[in-house]
Amino acid sequence: MILEVKNLQKVYGDKTVVNIEDLQIAAGETVGLVGNNGAGKTTFFRMLLDLIRPTNGEVLSKGENVMHNDNWKNYTASFLDEGFLIDYLTPEEYFIFIGSLNNLSVADVSAYLSQYGEFFNGEILNSGKYIRDFSKGNQNKVGIAAALMQKPEILILDEPFANLDPTTQIRLKKLLKEQTGNMTTFISSHDLNHVTDVCNRIILVEKGQVIKDFKTDENTLKELENYFSA
């Protein structure tokens, strides 16, 4: 198992917002995390990335606790929110910076970005604007592209379809399918259609707990729609 979660809990005041006893993710799985507002998805992702500390329990990446070891940082990339970006850089400068952390030359980064013409829709590169001056949707595109550029073994994206127009959502699905081949991918989403299309496993959370965990098949979308319409 590339990722294991054991007895993971996050408590704020008298509220347990994440409570996952045991979760095992095998290398290469594309896992969709779904659940209503406040279900604990972002809190869970933040613990996977050691951005917040669990109240109890642990996250093991390749068997090592992410709190006590930095190895996972070499093979994990993520984009949770705009806080992952650097506001005073242009997108090009940001991509080059992230590339440099991953031993990619400026030429490597340019070559990589050349395939993003459609996804960026002509609005990201060569604009002369700083990241802070882009719309939220366009900021998301920068963050997602920068995470994918690292070709990580583990990719974690929090609501990647949010704030994107329908055309771009469809382009993003295509990109994810093309680029996440061998990656272990964790994607949270409120878009049941997209998440079942992209992911081969769906984990449904409610009040911090795993309610359902199943492999995606032709019935999954219907099951999820039924669940959420209750």
Ligand X SMILES: Nc1ncnc2c1ncn2[C@@H]1O[C@H](COP(=O)(O)OP(=O)(O)OP(=O)(O)O)[C@@H](O)[C@H]1O
Q: Which of residues 56 and 167 has its CB atom nearest to ligand X in the complex? A: 56
Task: Give the x/- contact pattern for ligand X in 26-65, rule: CB under 6 A.
Answer: ---------x-xxxxxxx----------------------
Q: 2, 3, 8, 17: which one contacts ligand X (CB under 6 A)?
A: 17
134 C-beta neighbours (distance < 10 Å), count? 21
Query: Cβ closer to ligand X: 35 or 143?
Result: 35
- In whole angstroms, how close is the CB of 224 to ligand X at the nearest point? 15
By rule CB under 6 A, what string of x and - marks binding of each residue 138-177 to ligand X? ----------------------------------------
Where are the extended beta strands (E) located within the chain? 3-12, 15-25, 30-34, 56-61, 64-65, 76-79, 154-158, 184-188, 201-206, 209-215
Q: Would you say 35 or 160 has its CB closer to ligand X?
A: 35
Main-chain phi, psi angles of 68, to 5 degrees: -115, 5
What minimum distance in Å lies between the beta carbon of 45 and ligand X? 8
Q: How far is CA 59 from the centre of its chain?
A: 16
3-state secondary structure of 107: helix
DSSP 8-state assignment for residue 62: T
Least distance (Å) between residue 18 CB and ligand X: 7
Closest residue by Cα to residue 189 from 78, 66, 84, 37: 37
Q: Does 194 bind ligand X (CB under 6 A)?
A: no
Looking at residue 51, the DSSP 8-state letter turns out to be: S
The residue count for the chain:
230
Q: How far is the CB of 189 from ligand X (least distance, A)?
A: 9
Q: What is the smallest separation between the CB atom of 46 and ligand X, expressed in angstroms? A: 8
Positions touching ligand X (CB under 6 A) are: 12, 17, 35, 37-43
